[in-house]
């Protein structure tokens, strides 16, 4: 997957398991929700399985 992203010009640059501190350290108030949580709310994510990353909404 990473090589496919690189070939398409969208190479992976950074990732974190805890995105909130990236925002709070810069004066933002983040709310994070996992893809899995959103998917389960719509009945489209298995009960078990990968977390899938986070969606972040932040305000100053």
Q: What is the pLDDT along the chain (60 residues), one digit of tens a residue?
A: 678 878 888 887 788 889 999 999 999 999 999 888 899 899 988 877 677 788 999 999
pTM recorded for the entire structure:
0.63
Q: How distant, in Å, are the alpha carbons of 7, 20, 22, 42, 49 from that of 39?
A: 29, 20, 24, 5, 12
């Amino acid at each position: 997957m990473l090589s496919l992203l690189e070939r398409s010009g969208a190479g992976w640059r950074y990732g974190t398991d805890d995105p909130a501190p990236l925002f709070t350290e810069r004066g933002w108030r983040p709310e994070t929700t996992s893809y899995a949580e959103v998917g389960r709310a719509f009945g489209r994510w298995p009960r078990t399985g990968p977390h899938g990353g986070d969606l972040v909404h932040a305000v100053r």
